[in-house]
Amino acid sequence: MTAPPAPLPGGFDEAELQRVLDQACSAVGLNPEGAQLLRGHTNAVVRLSTAPVVLKVARRGSKFENVQRTARFVQWLMDRGFPTVPLYPVDDQPLEVDGHAVTYWTYLPQPEHSLSAAQIAKPLYALHSLPIPPFALPALNNLRAIRLSIGSITALSDETNLFLAERADRLEKALHTVEYALPKGVVQGDPQHRNALFDGDETVLCDWDTVAVGQPEWDLVTLEIHCRRFGYSHDHYKDFADTYGFDVTRWPHFPILRDIRELRMITTNARKISHAPLSRGEIQRRITGLHREDTSLRWNIL
């Protein structure tokens, strides 16, 4: 008996993804022939070869109204001339195809060299300076997200899950002591090198699934974590802080937000092990680093 094919990254079944792609393209007059899977860790991100379009296919079970909100927010940004990857001009985004929410984006060709953190600073500062949009965005709540993830983790031991939950409890108590330095506003939720692109000479932000209303310090901490944990130099981060105009590492409450944000990154990936089994070793390594309070351990990208 032939073994079933291995799932694609993100847990997508290859035949199912192809069927969704075919229907999503047919619905708007696009051709899926030769399409290429770019990313599949959470959503399937597929680039068409026949048009400058990228399709983003949400995993089955994702809330359709959340994807609707994301598309509405990006259209609001576009109407304001904000530097974002633009939606591709098709009507009524997102489209629901066989239980998956599908959005269409304009493909932006990228140069061989990658973005620096400093190049992300300007659009991120512009985002934090925006007014709150005239429709509801969720409130950023990292502790709630951590607890939801811990409740969904099935691939780690009970002892490990208890360690993660107790760490969350301690950090929540510490969070009550935090006094923020910056005004509340719109936050991206996960600003990093992979969530920004070049558009000609301009840097634009992308991947708005985690957009929320909250404290900009969370975005700045997230960017610092990506610089420190994924092999960038201290000067690389310092250039970002100098360009943005605020060094979150010099803020007295930085360690609390750092530890909460890193715990969220670990627990978010831990609940996805069943969809990405090769990630188990890296997640265990990161958790060992938490036990050791090792803030300098380099992480591998998942």
pLDDT value at position 275? Answer: 80
117-291: CATH topology is Aminoglycoside 3'-phosphotransferase; Chain: A, domain 2 (3.90.1200)
CA distances for 297 relative to 137, 238, 293, angstroms: 34, 19, 9
Nearest to 193 by CA among 109, 127, 115, 112: 115
CATH 3.30.200.20 residue ranges for the chain:
9-106
Residue-wise pLDDT tens digits, 224-278: 999 999 999 999 999 999 999 999 999 999 999 999 999 999 999 999 898 888 8
Per residue, the 3-state secondary structure of 243-279, as one string, reads HHCCCHHHCCCHHHHHHHHHHHHHHHHHCCCCCCHHH
User: How far apart, in whole angstroms, are the C-alpha atoms of residue 26 and residue 13?
Assistant: 20
Q: Could you report the per-residue pLDDT of 18-72, keeping only the tens digit for each?
A: 999 999 999 999 999 999 999 877 789 999 999 999 999 998 888 999 999 999 9
pLDDT tens digits for range 182-202: 999 999 999 999 999 999 989
CATH of the domain spanning 9-106: 3.30.200.20
* Reported confidence tier of residue 4, pLDDT bands at 50, 70, 90: very low
Read off the pLDDT of each residue in 288-298 and give the average, rounded to a whole number: 98
- pTM: predicted TM-score of the whole model, two decimal places: 0.94
Q: What is the pLDDT of residue 7?
A: 52
Residues of the chain with CATH 3.90.1200.10: 117-291
